[in-house]
Chain A
Amino acid sequence: MNTTLKMLAGTGALALVLTACGGGDGGGDSGGDGGELVGSGSGDSCTIDSPVPVGAVVSLTGAAASYGESQRKGLELAAEKLAENEGVTYDLKIEDDATDPKQGITVFEDLTKDRSVIIGPTLSNTAFQAQPIAQEAGVPVLAISNTADGITAQGDYIFRDSLTEAQVIPQTVEVAKEHFGLEKVVVMYSNDDAFTESGYKVFDQALQDQGVEILDTLTFSKADTDFRALLTEAKGQDPDAVVVSGLIEAAIPLVTQARELGIDVPIIGGNGFNNPKLMSDSGEAAEGVVVGAAWNSASEGDLNKAFLADFEEKYDGQPDQFAAQAYTGMFVVDAAVRANCSGEPDDIRDGLTTIKDLDTVLGTFSINADRDAEHQAVVQIVEDGSFKPLN
């Protein structure tokens, strides 16, 4: 049981014990179009004749392109790995939503026609508008990066493998408070994006729960690049830390300008900060940035080590959390398909609800009754140019 595949399949088999029929007559020949996606066997012995059509919607262009690119790499790597397995193959089609909800809707409409499951989209903003299309068409969606509240509440076909901000941020605030003895902070967030707005709300709640005083709350736009006026305002309040909910495009100039203005306190970021670009593009300024994350890149797990090595070999670079979650997404789909040994949308949906204690690069992974992901989070701080666990 030391390979990725067997572990995954084993878990799938567990769920399958009840449904596994004797099958195995192998006569899946041309029993009508509908039948091709229903296989025989169970778990890792599951065999489906046709490749299971998987659609993915990520932002390959536009403001969120850097996340989408990571996701594309993670998905393609996972598809490659899964192809080494016996029995089930996947036909992965990746589409670009251009960081635009309107295009997201178009792409979803297109993919629901011939795909059994849709992975994505990259931003919660787009997800809120595009997911209802899949829900209506009866095609399950597995979100791989969306962390806003209410994503999976949109319907019983919507799942996610990404921890919500509501799961990660309270842990981040708690650990940071303990570590730095925070008493008073200034909060900054971009108020024109669903993701950063929901991140802000969770920060706000978590800070209050922990008894940390919020001196001031400052807002900016996700397209802003000059934060000096806001930061000067923040500095004037003399906070113990600056708490920011923003995307990476804002995070880099914000952090750089904060250090330039002499703000030396820790900067606590939401999920948007969780990107190696923060260190590569803002250099020393990134030191002392604290971010909660769903994926611990330094995890010693076998699966994670293999993932890091494979990614390095294929792309000649380090994966980020978006790649890890995307990678996990394909394996979660695989487990769901094998659970009922069927590539039909409804069977995949049912399969997704059964996922429990699946071993993944994110750790031991389950999908809960709300169709949200459950696994351990990690709080990291930037030290010497890389993320180190703080707790």
Chain B
Amino acid sequence: MQQLLNGLFLGSLYALFAIGFTLVFGILDRLNLAHPAVFAAAAFVGIELVAVGGLSIWVALPLVALVGAVLGLIIERVAFRPLKGRPDAHFAGLISSIGLGGMVIALLLWRYGPDTRRFPIEAFPTQTFEVLGARVTVLQAALLVISVVLMAGLTWLVARTRLGRAMRAVAENPRAATVLGINVDRVTATTFALSSALGAVAGALFAMNVNSAQLGMGSAIELKGLAVIIVGGMGSLPGALVGGLVLGLAEVFAVQYIGSSWRDLVAFGLLFLLLVVRPQGLFGSRRVREV
């Protein structure tokens, strides 16, 4: 039971990270590889807000999301928009976002130094409670709730709102969307802001969950995030959610049943098998593009 919960907490963070990743991909068909840098930056900013600003972690979270959104706008403006007309825009965007991500990390290094940083211990609620014999901290429970609410909110936004419809229209065909009177640039920018805000919240929550933030934390989760969105079906939101949970649970149960040394092998092996069986991913489809 404890392991199931461990896997759920871990998986929900993977999912939250991956869902931001996949949102941009689903709409623009671009991979934003600066996403992991936003993830790391958010953790550091979150710690700064709590440790220096004296805010409670619950107040810091929305602020972190805001910072993430701003970063997303910058990423879109700097790394993607200038290149969007080029015939090789996919690759150019990929590379320029790697570059921008590297710059963000370099700025973090300059600002915060190389050390692992942590939230002050007093910042966390200390109570733990038992669920069916498993120990859960208030923070973990909150983390799961926040992740689920954010992901549900995003799904609702994409499926039901005017903005969501515009996003889906852009995903389908940007030119046609323009003809229909949709401001494609604005929708694109909003998508980036949303995506990065989610990545930022994921980063801050991840840092809270393990109480440490390192400059390399983004690259550590980057591959897992990519694996999750590929397994989930590129561009599929529910796919990213389920994919994240599957990966989290696979890692935890690999430790329990097979052995800790085999964790990554088992987890990634499972994902690989899944892809062999279902190349389009869990929720992906080959023709229809989803948001």
Number of interface residues of B (CB under 8 A): 31
B137 touches A229 (CB 8 A): no
> Would A261 and B2 count as touching, CB distance under 8 A?
yes
Contact B115 A66 (CB under 8 A): yes
Quick check: A228 and B6 within 8 Å, CB to CB? yes
- CB-CB contacts below 8 Å: A228-254 with B: 228-230, 232-233, 235, 249, 252-253
Q: A154: CB under 8 A from chain B?
A: no
Q: Does B10 contact A (CB under 8 A)?
A: yes
- Once A225-B217, A226-B10, A252-B211 are accepted as A-B contacts, the answer to whether A220 and B260 lie under 8 Å apart by CB is yes
Whether the Cβ atoms of B114 and A62 lie closer than 8 Å is: yes
Task: List residues of chain A with CB within 8 A of the CB of B212.
Answer: 225, 249, 252-253
**Measured between C-beta atoms, what is the minimum distance from B68 to chain A in Å?**
20
A219 at the interface (CB under 8 A from B): yes
Query: Among residues 245 to 281 in chain A, which have CB atoms less than 8 Å away from a CB atom of chain B?
Result: 249, 252-253, 256-257, 260-262, 281
Asked if A282 lies at the interface with its beta carbon under 8 angstroms from chain B, I say yes
- The distance from the CB of A200 to the nearest CB of chain B, in whole angstroms, is 12
Which of B93-101, B144-152, B248-256 lies at the binding interface? B248-256
Q: Out of A60, A218, A223, A282, which one reaches B216, CB within 8 Å?
A: A223
- Cβ of A35 to closest chain B Cβ, rounded Å: 42
> Which residues of B in the span 239-276 have a Cβ within 8 Å of any Cβ on A?
251-252, 255-256, 260-261, 263
Most buried by B among A63, A191, A228, A253: A228
A26: interface (CB < 8 Å): no
- List which B125-141 residues lie within 8 A (CB) of chain A: 128, 135, 137
In angstroms, Cα B251 to Cα A233, docked, is: 13
Is B214 at the interface (CB under 8 A from chain A)?
yes
- CA A228 – CA B109 in complex, angstroms? 28
Number of chain A residues close to chain B: CB under 8 A: 31
A258 to B216, CA, bound (A): 23
Residues of the B chain whose Cβ atoms lie less than 8 Å from the Cβ of A249: 116, 212, 214
Q: How far is the CA of A256 from the CA of B9 in the complex (A)?
A: 17
Provided the pairs A219-B260, A220-B260 are in contact, do residues A229 and B3 lie with their beta carbons within 8 angstroms? yes
The proximity string for A residues 61-73 relative to B, scoring 1 for CB distances below 8 Å and 0 otherwise, is 1110110000000
Q: Mark A15-29, 1 if CB is under 8 A from B, else 0.
A: 000000000000000
Distance in angstroms from A257 CB to nearest chain B CB is 7
Q: In the complex the two chains form, is A260's CB within 8 Å of B137's CB?
A: yes
Q: Would you call B114 and A65 a contact (CB within 8 A)?
A: yes
Q: How far is the CB of B126 from chain A (nearest CB, A)?
A: 9
- Chain B residues whose CB sits within 8 angstroms of the CB of A233 once the complex forms: 3, 255-256, 260
Name the residue on A nearest B4 (C-beta).
Answer: A232
Q: Does A181 contact B (CB under 8 A)?
A: no
What's the least CB distance linking A246 to chain B, in Å? 13
Name the A residues within 8 Å of B211 (CB-CB): 252-253, 256, 281
Question: B115: which A residues are within 8 A, CB to CB?
Answer: 65-66
Q: Do A229 and B255 have beta carbons less than 8 Å apart?
A: yes
Contacts of B137 in A (CB 8 A): 260
Q: Is B118 a contact partner of A219 (Cβ separation < 8 A)?
A: no
Q: How far is the CA of A65 from the CA of B117 in the complex (A)?
A: 12
Interface membership of A283, Cβ < 8 A: yes
Tell me the B residues contacting A by CB distance below 8 Å: 2-3, 6-7, 9-10, 109, 113-116, 118, 121, 128, 135, 137, 209-212, 214, 216-217, 220, 251-252, 255-256, 260-261, 263
| 24 A-B pairs with C-beta separation under 8 A | A61-B114, A63-B216, A65-B113, A65-B115, A218-B255, A219-B260, A219-B261, A220-B260, A223-B220, A225-B214, A226-B209, A226-B210, A228-B6, A229-B3, A229-B7, A229-B263, A232-B256, A253-B210, A260-B135, A261-B2, A262-B135, A281-B121, A282-B121, A283-B121
Starting from the known contacts A233-B260, A252-B211, A281-B118, 4 additional A-B residue pairs (CB-CB under 8 Å) come to: A218-B260, A225-B210, A226-B10, A282-B121
